[in-house]
Amino acid sequence: MRKVLKDKLERIKGVHSLESVMTLLDVNRVGAIKTLSALRKKGYVKTKRLSNNKRVYDISFENRLGGVSYINTLNNNSPIKLSGANVYRVYGKKFSPEETFILAIKSKSLRQILASLSLFKKISDWPHLYRLAKAENLERQVGALYYLSRKIMKNRKIIGKFQNLSLPKKDARYQYIIEGLNSNDFKDIEKKWKVYLPFNIADLEAYRSKLT
């Protein structure tokens, strides 16, 4: 790759609209399209469409390497689009919604966890989700996030014994999803699951706006 094109790739790594590429490269629309086209031919750009039919561009060195990460599953199911850079990739496998959700929580990333809320529309194997969550001591976090997601979208009901097995005992201590962060607005969910949520109403309203 020519140095000029490589430098441009470094400047626009991540998930961008055409307008943000124009801003980052300080070029007009034609210049941005030419750069994206050149990078796409070399395998560095993947194009996606949002729910409002607007195009966004996932730009990274890793795209050329192939393979998938759980970020691919998130991006395919969430209105919030994330960059897959610096995330472990595997070959010959797709991440299930259940696996992706646990990995998003483990990331300790506000943006990834918020994006993962839409996965509850896809999760169907609750026993599998429970096993994955239990292995990481995340059952209560999953339960709390599930009820948080129902504040903004209609999700599948919890199937099987997940809730009964995951609810905390009376003397259980509170747990964090992200250390030091708690909600000012969802105390009912926090009390039920004894889990501090890292989101407030404003975060969910911003998320809801992307669903329409």
What is the per-residue pLDDT for 86?
A: 52
Residue 112: inside a domain? no
Helix (H) or strand (E) holding 174: none
Could you give the residue ranges of the DSSP H alpha helices within the chain? 3-11, 18-25, 29-41, 62-65, 70-77, 97-106, 110-116, 126-135, 139-149, 162-166, 187-193, 201-211
CATH number of the domain that residue 53 is part of: 1.10.10.10
Residue 13: inside a domain? yes
Backbone CA torsion sign across 77, 99, 59, 12: positive
Residue 200: inside a domain? no
pLDDT in tens, 146-179: 999 998 888 777 777 899 999 999 899 999 999 9
**Domains identified in the chain, total number:** 1
How far apart are the C-alpha atoms of 68 and 87, rounded to whole Å? 9
pTM of the prediction? 0.67
Domain that holds residue 32: 1-66
Residue 152: inside a domain? no
pLDDT in tens, 70-119: 888 888 888 888 875 555 555 556 789 999 999 999 999 999 999 999 99
Residue 2: inside a domain? yes
Residue 16: inside a domain? yes
50 pLDDT band, cuts 50/70/90, is confident
Identity (one letter) of the amino acid at 128?
H
Residue 143: inside a domain? no
